[in-house]
């Protein structure tokens, strides 16, 4: 049996870009690129260090003690909110 069609590919997922005191979760496949979420750091000299995260298009936000955990929260909330656009990410 010969199948003559290409499988439908998912759209590219957002990528992390780091800044001085903030990391952005950018969707690159649109023009201009659109920031989907971000992770920010507490001001210099503030203890304890807290990473605040948020999705830009929703009211989802929170705080974590590590950068890795904050990025994971942004990615998880993005997958929950936008799973209709990225079917391959539904199995999180």
The helices-and-strands tally (H runs, E runs) of the chain is 1, 5
Domain ranges of the chain: 16-90
pLDDT of residue 70: 97
Q: Cα(92)–Cα(76) distance, rounded to whole angstroms?
A: 8
List per-residue pLDDT tens for the chain, 92 residues long. 666 766 666 677 889 999 989 999 998 877 888 899 999 999 888 889 999 999 988 889 999 999 999 999 999 999 888 877 666 555 54
Q: Are 74 and 52 in contact (CB under 8 A)?
A: no
Q: Cα(33)–Cα(9) distance, rounded to whole angstroms?
A: 20
Q: Is 64 helix (H, G, I), strand (E, B) or coil?
A: strand
């Amino acid at each position: 049996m010969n199948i003559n069609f290409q499988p439908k590919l998912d759209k590219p997922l957002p990528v992390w870009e780091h800044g001085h005191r903030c990391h952005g979760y950018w969707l690159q496949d649109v023009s201009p690129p659109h920031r989907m979420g971000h992770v920010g750091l507490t001001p210099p000299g503030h203890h304890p260090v807290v990473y605040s995260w948020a999705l830009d298009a929703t009211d989802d936000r929170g705080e974590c003690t590590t950068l890795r955990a904050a990025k994971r929260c942004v990615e998880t909330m993005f997958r929950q909110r936008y799973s209709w656009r990225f079917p391959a990410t539904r199995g999180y």
